[in-house]
Amino acid sequence: MTLRLTGAQFKDAAVSIAETVEKTRLIQAPSLSPDSRSSLWLKPECLQVTGSFKIRGAANKIASLDRTARERGIVTASSGNHGRAVACVAGQFGVDAVICMSTHVPPVKVDAIRGYGARVVMTGDSYDGAEAEALKMAREEGMTFVSAFDDPHIIAGQGTIGLEIVRDLPDLDTVIVPVSGGGLISGVGAAVRFLNPDAKVIGVSMDRAPMMHLSLRAGRPVEVAEEPTLADALMGSIGVENQYTFAMVRDLVDEVVLVSEDQIGRAMVWAMREHGLLVEGGGAVGLAAVMGGAVENMGENVVVVVSGGNVDRSRVDELATKEDE
Ligand SMILES: *Cc1c(COP(=O)(O)O)cnc(C)c1O
């Protein structure tokens, strides 16, 4: 059965997280518009607290836990940004947090998590392995497992982005959203449609092991081997036991398009040069899709969610140098 989040749940989430997160403001991106028929805006969650939108879901989830659960602590698996967000919010609430991660998580993300005082467990070389370890610790030590995407409180928290977008741009025609496990696009899509039922919702993933895309095509959650990509935040499966996001994405999202490594790199360089924004690969896939002309019939008012900015500046400089050669 598909999870139906009500407008009230998104509004409650917005109230729960108001003290913890920034309401990011839309940025006009005239040079991104393919023609005079469309106006494009960025929703810059790369400027969000902890450098990604994941703090919205983490704050909403942790605020929902009762006293016993808070005392027992929480455990999660992360490709980096969710772990950082959970560690940050757990620190504010005085809740013990354990973050399980694979060796693919970039050091810049691991260091940030340790900085919040969370316990870091490095396990193997895949997101799925890290998740198995986190679930085992939850069982054995009585901690609450906090999914990065497949949880109604997480989805409602991410959906607050959709409320903010439509509040700032009521005539929204299309929203373009990065997709990995699907918590972000499920929340944003449902919240946007709640306020504006005709809006188009487009998902974007990298073409290297795009798990949600492959799952939609197969008609059920599938697992394939992860492949290294500039969009490291989008790596990992949606879980064969997926409860919520697969059905929500299937029912809500008009289309999921894919972008190449080259396109992602160009989008990261564009964001830096055009807007002075440090955008990580996973955060840049929506920009890459628009720049590559992958999204058709976007309508007049288009918002691209720029979901995160946790990448070393030197990495973007390298990409820029390569492009100039
Ligand atoms: C987690 C993440 C995503 C994808 O979110 P899902 O809810 O897993 O689809 C996109 N961009 C960034 C930067 C992320 O950290």
Residue 284: predicted pLDDT:
98
Quote the ligand 1 centre to 144 CA distance (angstroms): 21
DSSP 73: -
What would the pLDDT profile of 271-297 be if each residue is shown by its tens digit?
Answer: 999 999 999 999 999 999 999 999 999
Residue 135, C-beta contacts closer than 8 angstroms, at least 6 positions apart: 77, 145
Q: Could you give the percent of the chain with pLDDT greater than 90? A: 90
- 324 against 201, higher pLDDT: 201
Asked if residue 282 has its Cβ within 6 Å of ligand 1, the reply is yes
CB of residue 134 inside a 6 A radius of ligand 1: no
pLDDT, residue 114, reads 92
Q: How far is the CA of 92 from the centre of ligand 1 (A)?
A: 22
Phi first, then psi: give them for residue 281, nearest 5 degrees: -55, -50
Q: Which pLDDT score is estimated for 126?
A: 86
Helices (H) and strands (E) in the chain, counts: 13, 10
Q: Please report where in the chains the tokens 């992360």 appear, as a residue.
A: 78
Ligand 1 centroid–CA 36 distance in Å is 30
Entry field: residues in the chain? 325
For ligand 1, say whether the CB of 182 is within 6 Å of any of its atoms. yes
Please state, in angstroms and rounded to a whole number, the distance separating the CA atoms of residues 158 and 292. Answer: 26
Atom of ligand 1 nearest to the CA of 183: 7
Taking CA atoms only, the protein residue closest to ligand 1 atom 7 is 183
Write out the catalytic residue numbers: 54, 307
Compute the distance between CA of residue 82 and CA of residue 147 in angstroms, rounded to an integer: 9
Instruction: Read off the pLDDT of residues 1-52 as tens digits, 9 standing for 90 and up.
Output: 688 899 999 999 999 999 999 999 999 999 998 777 899 999 999 999 999 9
> pTM score > 0.95 for this model?
yes
Residue with tokens 């085992």: 136
Tokens of 232: 């490291």
Cα of 47 to ligand 1 centre, how many Å?
A: 15
Arithmetic mean of pLDDT, 238-246: 95
246 lines ligand 1 (CB under 6 A): no
Q: What are phi and psi of 75, to 5 degrees?
A: -140, 145
Handedness of CA 52, 57, 60, 62 (dihedral sign): negative
The DSSP call for residue 230 is S
148, with CB counted inside 10 A (0-12, 13-18, 19+), is: buried
% of the chain exceeding 70 in pLDDT: 100
